């Protein structure tokens, strides 16, 4: 079990107002990035996803990732503009059992007559601060030569 | 227990290890290969694992149409689930036959081989209706048994082929039925009211079940061959149909090779949504040897053509046939090489797939109550190639297998692969 999700990231994950994108790839390397509002903190150190459709492209890619060791990526954008990227791997797919059934009931209470195909468990392996100001400050500090020269000109030189 | 197993580990099979075999199939999922291997070799529960089984939350073995490898009916877990949702239907196997060991370590059940933990597993959850009784006083678990997402209705546990000593050679239905009746009091034939009542109770558990499967032995009686068998199913399906708001409901009937009139009746008069009739082995000579009853009353080619004709009634992707894979290599009349067996099987499966019939297999378990007892199933490599070959045919002919997939059945390694289709 991993414990790399900070309280701030957990809040972002659990907020209804956070935009959540899950990116997966298929066996040919074709990317597939979609909004997945149901991504949430699983409470076990992992991120859980409710996959409603059995025929879902994401579901197939997650299975391929679990079977063949591919990674997935999650991007979170909070309502205040906070951005975080999480890289991880699918660990488990609940298609029955207590966790599945609990989520099935809760989902139907919330959304009405829908089904549930699986509860996916994604283990976070790396959390990257994707906040623009943070990233810019880091690059400016660590790699100051990555800059267009015109930005370095003295005002009097123009 | 693991140490003991290492000591008694014998040369039950002379073959490459699991990892060596899998290395030859980099595109094949390890978890599905593990499922195959566990089904092929069976399991043995350590005392520690048995002590960790909680009958209040875990599903223990319920009456089943066929028997198990150890020939005993014991209160052990029904079966296992892998972390990708793959079901492993397997049964307790004597240690001298080199099974996987199910142990309980650090708070979880694990599959152990050669003293090494191979994977964590979960036991099936006990359905809420187990432990309840029908109004006629029958334990509901004796009427309808559960898989993680499916309800099994084994309508009768008698096969008329056995009456003339023409039962399929791998089958132990009658031996096992007798044992279940004597040891558990399981009824020989189900009453539709008991089934309807049990299914209604089972479906009170939200999110648990996705399909119903009906099967039984062959019943050759009636004005036309199998008419009585169809009568039983129609009666049962109509009784269950009363509880659903749609005419059709997700269901599979695994029956004899019915004629068009019988199939039309089933399709039009009931809510049945798919039809399966098992050829068991895809080779006429072997069929005649291994399935003498089916061969005598219907014949291989006619059985096959009835399946093809069923596609006109149930539609592409809703008709299938099952194989007991491995019997095609049984002694003394089976194929002499796995290569020949594979190519014969896949070529016949292609004939069927072209015509809209999908083929799935179960791993042959030489059961002690069957005529082929004491033999060994083929190699893991063979079963991997067969699973991939059958799934490739589904992709090639754009055939779906939703009615018999990882969730609605869980007993076919080849249709587990259809999850990526
Ligand atoms: S048809 Fe064959 S496999 Fe089926 S129950 Fe009868 S003897 Fe057994």
Nearest residue, CB atoms, A67 vs list B31, B207, B406 = B31
Do B208 and B149 contact (CB within 8 A), yes or no?
A: yes
Q: Is the pLDDT of residue B172 over 90?
A: no
pLDDT per position as a tens digit, B296-312? 999 999 999 999 999 99
Structure tokens that stand for B291 in this block: 């399935």
CATH of segment(s) B129-420: 3.20.20.70
Binding site membership of B217 for ligand 1 (Cβ less than 6 Å): yes
Residues B362-381 have a mean pLDDT of: 91
Instruction: Indicate the helix (H) or strand (E) that contains A72.
Output: strand A72-77
B367: confidence class by pLDDT, cuts 50, 70, 90: confident
pLDDT value at residue B71: 62
B9: confidence class by pLDDT, cuts 50, 70, 90: very low
> What residue owns the CA closest to ligand 1's atom 7?
B167
Instruction: Indicate the helix (H) or strand (E) that contains B241.
Output: helix B227-241
Q: What is the pTM of this model?
A: 0.93
Q: Is the pLDDT of residue B6 over 80?
A: no
Residues B141-170 have a mean pLDDT of: 89
DSSP secondary structure code for residue A36 in this structure: -
Distances from the Cα of A29 to the Cα of A24, A61, A70, B149, B353, angstroms: 9, 10, 10, 32, 29
The complex scores an ipTM of 0.91
> What residue owns the CA closest to ligand 1's atom 5?
B217
pLDDT value at residue B158: 81
d(CA A64, CA A48): 17
Q: Closest by alpha carbon to B385, among B87, B36, B85?
A: B36
- Percent of chain A that is helix, strand, coil (3-state, to 5): 35, 30, 35
d(CA A61, CA A55): 11
pLDDT value at residue B68: 61
Q: Give the domain ranges of chain B.
A: 2-123, 129-420
Which residues in B have their CB inside 8 Å of a CB on A? Answer: 29-32, 81, 83-85, 122, 124-125, 148-149, 205-208, 406-407, 419-420
For residue B280, list its beta bridge partners.
B323
DSSP secondary structure code for residue A28 in this structure: T
Which residues in A have their CB inside 8 Å of a CB on B? Answer: 27, 54, 60, 63-64, 66-68, 91-98, 100-101, 104-105, 108, 116, 118
pLDDT per position as a tens digit, B184-206? 666 667 899 999 999 999 999 99
- Residuewise pLDDT in 10s, chain A (158 residues): 446 999 999 999 999 999 999 999 999 999 999 999 999 999 999 999 999 999 999 999 999 999 999 999 999 999 999 999 999 999 999 999 999 999 999 999 999 999 999 999 999 999 998 788 888 999 999 999 999 999 999 989 87
From the CB of residue A126, how many other CB atoms can be counted at a distance below 10 Å? Answer: 11
Better-scored residue on pLDDT, A82 or B6? A82
Domains delineated in chain A: 7-130 (2.30.110.10)
d(CA B189, CA B144): 12
């Amino acid at each position: 079990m991993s414990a790399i999700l900070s309280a701030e990231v957990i809040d972002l994950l659990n907020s209804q107002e956070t935009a959540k994108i899950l990116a997966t790839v298929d066996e040919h390397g074709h990317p597939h990035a979609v909004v997945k509002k149901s991504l949430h903190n699983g409470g076990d150190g992992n991120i859980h996803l409710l996959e409603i459709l059995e025929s879902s492209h994401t579901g197939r890619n997650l299975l391929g990732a679990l079977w063949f060791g591919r990674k997935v990526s999650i991007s979170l954008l909070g309502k205040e503009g906070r951005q975080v990227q999480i890289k991880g791997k699918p660990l488990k797919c609940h298609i029955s059992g207590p966790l599945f059934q609990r989520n099935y009931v809760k989902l139907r209470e919330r959304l009405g007559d829908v089904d549930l195909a699986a509860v996916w468990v994604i283990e976070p392996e790396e959390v990257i601060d994707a906040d623009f100001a943070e990233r810019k400050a880091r690059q400016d500090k660590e790699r100051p030569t990555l800059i267009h020269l015109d930005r370095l000109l003295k005002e009097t030189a123009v | 227990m693991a140490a003991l197993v290492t000591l008694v580990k014998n040369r039950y099979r002379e073959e490459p290890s699991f990892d060596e075999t899998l290395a030859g199939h980099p595109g094949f999922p390890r978890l599905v290969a593990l499922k195959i291997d566990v089904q092929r070799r069976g399991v043995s529960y350590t005392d520690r694992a048995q002590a960790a089984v909680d009958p209040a939350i875990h599903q223990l073995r319920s009456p089943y149409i066929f028997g198990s490898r150890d020939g005993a009916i014991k209160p052990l877990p029904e079966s296992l689930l892998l972390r990708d949702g793959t079901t492993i239907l397997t049964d307790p196997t004597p240690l001298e036959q080199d099974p996987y060991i199910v142990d309980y370590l650090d708070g979880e059940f694990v599959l152990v081989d050669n003293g090494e933990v191979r994977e964590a597993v979960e036991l099936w959850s006990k359905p809420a209706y187990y432990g309840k009784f029908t109004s006629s006083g029958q334990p509901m678990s004796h009427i309808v048994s559960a898989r993680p997402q499916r309800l099994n209705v084994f309508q009768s546990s008698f096969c008329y082929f056995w009456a003339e000593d023409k039962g399929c050679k791998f089958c132990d239905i009658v031996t096992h039925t007798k044992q279940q009746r004597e040891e558990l009091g399981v009824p020989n034939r189900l009453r539709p009211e008991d089934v309807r009542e049990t299914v209604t109770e089972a479906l009170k558990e939200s999110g648990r079940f996705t399909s119903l499967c009906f099967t039984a032995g062959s019943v050759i009686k009636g004005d036309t061959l199998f008419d009585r068998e169809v009568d039983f199913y129609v009666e049962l399906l109509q009784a269950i149909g009363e509880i659903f708001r749609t005419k059709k409901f997700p269901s599979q009937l695994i029956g004899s090779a019915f004629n068009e009139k019988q199939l039309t009746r089933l399709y039009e008069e009931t809510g049945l949504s798919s039809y399966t009739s098992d050829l068991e082995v895809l080779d006429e000579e072997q069929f005649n040897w291994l399935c003498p009853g089916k061969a005598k009353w219907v014949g291989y080619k006619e059985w096959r053509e009835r399946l093809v004709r069923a596609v006109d009634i149930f539609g592409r992707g809703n008709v299938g046939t099952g194989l007991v894979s491995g019997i095609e290599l049984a002694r003394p009349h089976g194929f002499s090489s796995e290569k020949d067996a594979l190519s014969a099987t896949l070529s016949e499966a292609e004939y069927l797939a072209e015509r809209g019939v999908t083929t799935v297999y179960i791993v042959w378990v030489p059961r002690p109550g069957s005529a082929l007892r004491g033999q060994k199933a083929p190699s893991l490599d063979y079963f991997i190639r067969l699973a991939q070959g059958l799934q490739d045919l589904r992709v090639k002919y754009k055939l779906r297998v939703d009615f018999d997939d990882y969730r609605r059945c869980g007993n076919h390694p080849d249709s587990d692969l259809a999850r990526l289709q």
